[in-house]
Amino acid sequence: MTRKMLQFTHLHQRMPAKRPATLRRSDFTEISESFSAATAGEQSSRCEQCGIPFCSLHCPLGNNIPDWLMLVAQGRMDEAYAVSAATNSFPEICGRICPQDRLCEGSCVLEQSSHGNVTIGAVEKHVTEHAFAQGWVKPVAPMAELDRSVGIIGGGPAGLAAAEALRRKGYGVTVYDRHDRMGGLLTYGIPGFKLDKPVVERRIRLLAESGIRLVTGTAIGRDLTFAELRARHDAVLIATGVYQARPLDIPGADSRGGHGPAVHAALDYLIAQNRRDLGDDAAAPELDARDKAVVVIGGGDTAMDCVRTAIRQGARSVTCLYRRDRANMPGSRREVAHAEEEGVEFVWMAAPDAITAEGVRANRMHLGMPDASGRQSPVVIEGSGFILPADMVIAALGFDPEDMPGLFGAPDLAVSPWGTIETDAALMTSLDGVFAAGDIKRGASLVVWAIKDGRDAAQSIHRYVSAKTAQAAE
d(CA 24, CA 297): 23
Domain contains 139: no
The CATH number covering residue 33 comes to: 1.10.1060.10
d(CA 196, CA 178): 22
Domain contains 14: yes
* Rounded-to-10 torsion of CA 313, 318, 324, 325: 100
Q: Which amino acid is at 393?
A: V
Domain contains 86: yes
293/365 same-domain check: yes
211/154 same-domain check: yes
Closest to 158 measured CA to CA, from 237, 233, 215, 81: 237
222/280 same-domain check: no
Domain contains 141: no
22/129 same-domain check: yes
Terminal-to-terminal C-alpha distance of the chain: 57
Using DSSP, how many helices (H) and how many strands (E) does the chain show? Answer: 18, 16
Domain contains 144: no
231/257 same-domain check: no
Query: How many domains is the chain built from?
Result: 3
Query: Which residue, 361, 378, 398, sits at the end of a domain?
Result: 398
97/222 same-domain check: no
424/393 same-domain check: no
276/257 same-domain check: yes
CA distances from 421 to 156, 227, 400, 402, 463 (A): 17, 17, 12, 10, 21
Q: Which amino acid is at 439?
A: D
d(CA 170, CA 123): 32
Query: Which residue, 376, 398, 420, sits at the end of a domain?
Result: 398
Domain contains 143: no
d(CA 38, CA 144): 40
Domain that holds residue 408: 149-242+401-473
377/269 same-domain check: yes
Closest to 238 measured CA to CA, from 250, 265, 220: 220
Domain contains 183: yes
The CATH number covering residue 417 comes to: 3.50.50.60
376/410 same-domain check: no
394/407 same-domain check: no
230/193 same-domain check: yes
Cβ neighbour number for residue 19 with a 10 Å cutoff: 15
pLDDT by residue for the chain (474 residues), tens only, comes to 788 998 999 999 999 999 999 999 999 999 998 999 999 999 999 999 999 999 999 999 999 999 999 999 999 999 999 999 999 999 999 999 999 998 999 999 998 888 899 999 999 999 999 999 999 999 999 999 999 999 999 999 999 999 999 999 999 999 999 999 999 999 999 999 999 999 999 999 999 999 999 999 999 999 999 999 999 999 999 999 999 999 999 999 988 876 789 999 999 999 999 999 998 876 688 899 999 999 999 999 999 999 999 999 999 999 999 999 998 888 888 899 999 999 999 999 999 999 999 999 999 999 988 877 778 889 999 999 999 999 999 999 999 999 999 999 999 999 999 999 999 999 999 999 999 999 999 999 999 999 999 999 999 999 999 999 998 887
d(CA 209, CA 158): 19
CA distances from 50 to 66, 139, 329 (A): 8, 34, 30
d(CA 453, CA 142): 21
DSSP conformational letter for 182: S
Query: Which residue, 83, 103, 134, sits at the end of a domain?
Result: 134
Do residues 99 and 121 touch, judged by C-beta distance below 8 A?
Answer: no
User: What pTM did the predictor assign?
Assistant: 0.94
Domain contains 467: yes
